Amino acid sequence: MKGQIFIDIICKRFCRYFKNGKEEMYCGGYRVLVENFTASELQQLADMVCETNDIKNHIPAYDENLFNLVCKSCDFRIDGCDYRDNRSGPPCGGYIMIDQLVKG
Ligand code: SF4
């Protein structure tokens, strides 16, 4: 089960696909962030992302390294991901945060 503080920081704030009631499923971005950062660290990262980017219009370029790191373990790929399948939509919130983190 996802932690509420992580849902608030990663999913509600950055993910266009977030829906209440899917808390047993984990996107790859959420999984990587929660396994490697504290809530406090993620809150700082989220604040930096908001200051520097228009997230709604921010769609990172295809990145094979991020795909392997973030998307391979994603529960939502079974039903397809608009971003990964054909970039018809933005990536999930976790992917957006990680993309910003690796870009520095
Ligand atoms: S971009 Fe799509 S496939 Fe990749 S982690 Fe996010 S939801 Fe999953």
Please, are residues 84 and 71 in contact by the beta-carbon 8 Å criterion?
yes
Evaluate if residue 44 carries a pLDDT over 70.
Answer: yes
The C-alpha atoms of residue 38 and residue 76 are separated, in whole angstroms, by 24
Q: In this structure, what are the phi and psi dihedrals at residue 29, rounded to the nearest 5 degrees?
A: -65, -45
For ligand 1, say whether the CB of 91 is within 6 Å of any of its atoms: yes
Average pLDDT for 19-31:
85
What pLDDT is recorded for position 8? 94
What pLDDT is recorded for position 39? 96
Q: Which residues contact 69 (CB under 8 A, 6 or more apart)?
A: 28, 32, 98
- Please state the domain count of the chain: 1
Average pLDDT for 6-12:
94
User: Residue of the nearest CA to atom 7 in ligand 1?
Assistant: 92
Q: In this structure, what are the phi and psi dihedrals at residue 52, rounded to the nearest 5 degrees?
A: -110, -5
Q: Picking from 23-27, 51-55, 58-62, which range would have the lowest pLDDT averaged per residue?
A: 51-55
Domain of 80? 4-103
First to last CA, the chain: 30
Q: Which residues contact 48 (CB under 8 A, 6 or more apart)?
A: 100
For ligand 1, say whether the CB of 70 is within 6 Å of any of its atoms: yes
Q: Which tokens go with 10?
A: 């990663």
Evaluate if residue 30 carries a pLDDT over 90.
Answer: yes
For ligand 1, say whether the CB of 95 is within 6 Å of any of its atoms: yes
